Chain A
Amino acid sequence: MSPNATIGKYSGIIEKIFLILFILSIFSTFIFWWSGLSDKNALDEETERKFAEVLNENFKRGDIVFTENDWDLDFLKNLKSGIFPVVLDLKNATEKSVAMMKNSDDRVFLLLKSANSREFYIKKLNLKVIETFKAGKGEILLAETLFKTTKRPLVFSRDIGKAKRVAFSDGEKTDDCRKVSETKWQCSDETWNYVGLTTASFNGQQKQAVWAHPLTGKTLEIVFDVPEKSGKLYFNSVFAESAQRSKNRTPVNVEILADGKNLLKYASPFSSRVTEKSAKLPENTKELTIKLTVSDDRQRHFVFNGYLSDEL
């Protein structure tokens, strides 16, 4: 048999296979797109209504809502004002990340697509369930985390509004930033030139953080009074994902002073990985100053979070 005859023989069979596949593809297109299959995993109206209802009745300021489904968010339309944050990253959440995101005794709401995943998340996140609500086909867990954390008298993201002073200085002149809300200090009319609460990805986990975009030739100073019983500083810094495309690879220089004396000094590199630092506070420290400088401020979408703990 000549090579062409062999090709002809096999191509005939393959042609038939493609015809069958083509016919099957028509059927699959009809079945999937015309029968409602493409929308089969959406939350039903009852579940959405109940999600909103439970949150509207039970949510307290400081609580955090986690949703298992991060794409069908119709229940948001029925929420009352003041119910946030709604974190769409439950699947990636860990015991530690949830505990670190919330403040002290705050609770978490888990909006689950069904009761099937209840035990999985309770175990994964080390939760103590306070109450369970049935919500259509879904379920809502109101819980607190059992993850042991030290007491944190000062949390930079939570307490940014309590900063004693936020300002830019160039050595000669100091421009104070204006406190515009409990979570934000506006430093100029520029879009990005503020120090305030945001959320950002810390090694893949969305966490509350402080946005602090430094300026070339100036020092951004953020000053806090140190609460009593503060023993140790934890400080994490990273660049927001919006900066990741930048060609500018300049690091942000971080200097942290306890009562004017150097406590921590490092260059936070342009990287998607978090730089984690800690240092013991000198006894009776009264004031903590965070100084940020950069030699090229283009796209330096710098964020940090951290806290002072009561560890001695």
Chain B
Amino acid sequence: MNFKNRFEKIDFLLAAAVTIFVFLMIFLTNDSFGFVRDEGFYMKAANHMADWYESIGTNISNGEFAKIFSKKEIDRYFNYNSEHPPFMKELFGLSQFIFARKLGIMSAPMSARLVAAVFAALTALMIYLFGLIFFSRMTAAVSPLLFFMMPHIFFHSHLACFDMPILFFWSATFILYIFCLKTKKTSVHALTALFFAFGMATKHNVLFIPILLFVSWLFFYAFSYRKETGCGSFIGFFKAIPKVFYFMVIISLPVYFLIWPRMWFNTFNRLMTYAEFHGKHVNYLNYYFGTPLKNGPFPFSFPWAMTFFTTPTPQLVCFFAGILYFCRDFLKSEKTCGKEAAFAMISGSLFPIFLIALPSVPIFGGIKHWFTGYPLMLTAGVFVIEESVKKLIKTSNFKKNLVISALFTLAAVSLISPNIKFAKRGAAFYNELIGGAQGAAEARMQRNFWGYDMIDLADTLNREAPKNAKLFIMTGYEGLNPNSFRFMADAGMIRSDIKATNTLHEADFALFFYEKQNEHVLNNIAYEFGTVRPLAVSSTDSVFYSALFRREK
């Protein structure tokens, strides 16, 4: 992993084009998806945050500065959804405060999704820079586009959740660590630690990074650095430790606590509660080749197979090629620092998948919990393909670039169809290796996730439902979160007079989100409504995901 290119004038243009294109693609389609289960919680938390910003203004104008950060005030606004750190929720709230409350140019839910679009754009920029600095300009330009042409990625990029932001922080921290290895500049190490702090304040996934990197550094220290640097003594060992690890203690931790005011009070207990929540996280039932994965031990193959079957094949080939590139780099590097950098890339790419594969780790749902390393292996893979073409074709550089451009353009064009088909339900995408949506349904894989898939049903509901109609939203069965329902009404996706209910008996209409484990709900609806005939169905390639029913008795 060596620095190959410098950022030149043309890169301003290319990077800006890629970043703006991705931002617009995500932001302009942000009403394509219903609100997933988690968004309901985070958007509600964003309301609290926006209230907090309002209260800061009020307290300042009243001269009550101390009150702003009092325990009572902090607990009031930060206690909700305290099982996750607040950075993203603070941004969602800030966006709501500015764009919804002060400027009034968008609804509160969409102001949260604006932040998601910004992080998608930042991720595109990160991939561009990673591709440019370590690989080539072609790789830099192509990789972000291929990355966002994965239906699962496109889907998650829209959501006001933490998954794409943590993907950004995860991958970027590994990239920055390589900078730390290559340069002794204190400022780079300090900035990496500062950046890492924001990752910590986004989601706990990144807490594994220092452990992973430090253990791997220790390994390389024991076998190489110790002799190379002559730092074999006790004091020498501490001198040899890269500064970034010290900064993770003296910069990252304080900044993390600064971002999370709730942790200023009852710190130990609250940290323990936070750790306990994730340490004892519940398992989400998933169907995997016809087997309901309810209780551990879970199959080691689960996240590997899901990655294999939910990634479009061109990008999947790039994943394998990328891992091969890092492995080759590891073997070929003569300097220990080069080996460590390559190893960091391998662990950054694969550790998230490996972690979920452990039989004792619960399954939290879809691929979003292990896709954090995808940008690293995809970008390297794109470079492998580019290099292969260059080596194969003996002609001028211009013609070589033309062929490479044509090849990647062809790949992008081929991906248009699956992306359009799953434009409203990216979380349900399966590739052709399992037979697409139909093949996955035949194999009895989990069909969809997070109870969001009702955009195709909303028009019929809005048109057919009488005033103040009640809609069964199937919350108890991985259906729509009541908060998400409320925010969909706020965003104008559902008529505001329609009320949500979890009691079929009192419902006039019912949503049915298909999952194998919830099949019986279809007949519960039929017994209650007197019919199994849907008013509207959402489907892709004839595979049905959700349906709307109307009471007929």
Contacts and interface: CB of A to CB of B under 8 A. Distances in A.
Given A241-B285, A241-B517, A242-B476, A70 B441 contact: yes
Given A22-B314, A89-B519, A4 B527 contact: no
B476 A191 contact: yes
Contacts of B392: 16, 19
Interface string A192-209: 101001111100001000
A126 to B, nearest CB: 23
B51 interface: no
Contacts of B517: 201, 241
B189 to A, nearest CB: 31
A26 B411 contact: yes
A38 to B, nearest CB: 4
Interface size class of B (residues with CB under 8 A): 35 or more
A26 B436 CA distance: 15
Contacts of B432: 28-29, 32-33, 37-38
Contacts of A191: 476, 501-503
B331 interface: yes
Contacts of A21: 317, 320
Contacts of B331: 3, 7
A122 B70 CA distance: 73
B527 A39 contact: no
A298 B17 CA distance: 53
A120 interface: no
Nearest to A33: B417
A4 B332 contact: yes
Contacts of A22: 314, 317-318, 321, 385, 407, 411
Interface in B389-442: 389, 391-392, 407, 410-411, 414-415, 417-418, 421, 432, 435-438, 441-442
Nearest to A75: B533
A4 B391 CA distance: 18
B126 to A, nearest CB: 23
A116 to B, nearest CB: 15
Contact of B519 (A16, A88, A181, A183): A88
Given A77-B537, A201-B520, A242-B476, A39 B385 contact: no
A99 B410 CA distance: 55
Interface in A171-223: 180-181, 183-184, 186, 189, 191-192, 194, 197-201, 206
A33 B431 CA distance: 9
A29 B505 contact: no
A220 B421 CA distance: 49
A81 B542 contact: no
Q: Is the interface of A mostly helix, strand, loop or mixed?
A: mixed
Nearest to B549: A76
Contacts of B547: 73, 76
B313 A28 contact: yes
Interface string B311-326: 0111011101100100
Interface string A20-43: 011101111110111001111111
A18 B388 contact: yes
Contacts of B524: 198-199
Given A18-B321, A22-B314, A70-B441, A81 B282 contact: no
Contacts of A180: 505
Contacts of A72: 438, 542-544
B414 A79 contact: no
B534 A18 contact: no
A83 interface: yes
Given A41-B438, A84-B523, A26 B532 contact: no
A15 interface: yes
B527 A183 contact: yes
A80 B388 CA distance: 60
B260 interface: no
A12 B414 CA distance: 27
A186 B505 contact: yes
B407 A23 contact: yes
Contacts of A19: 385, 388-389, 392
Contacts of A261: none
A88 B444 CA distance: 12
Given A18-B385, A86-B532, A245-B284, A29 B526 contact: no
Given A25-B314, A71-B442, A84 B527 contact: yes
Contacts of B417: 29, 33-34
A149 B442 CA distance: 32
B531 interface: yes
Given A81-B531, A83-B532, A86-B522, A244 B294 contact: yes
Contact of B384 (A4, A15, A32, A79): A15
A194 B505 contact: yes
Interface in B429-476: 432, 435-438, 441-442, 447, 476
B115 to A, nearest CB: 29
Contacts of B553: 81
A26 B389 contact: no
B313 A25 contact: yes
Contacts of B519: 70, 87-89, 199, 206
A14 interface: yes
A260 interface: no
Interface in B497-553: 501-503, 505, 517-520, 522-524, 526-528, 530-534, 537, 539, 541-544, 547, 552-553
Given A23-B407, A84-B531, 11 more contacts: A16-B388, A25-B314, A26-B410, A37-B432, A37-B436, A42-B541, A87-B519, A192-B476, A198-B524, A206-B520, A272-B295
14 contacts: A7-B328, A7-B332, A29-B314, A38-B436, A38-B541, A72-B542, A81-B531, A81-B553, A194-B505, A198-B524, A241-B285, A242-B518, A244-B295, A245-B285
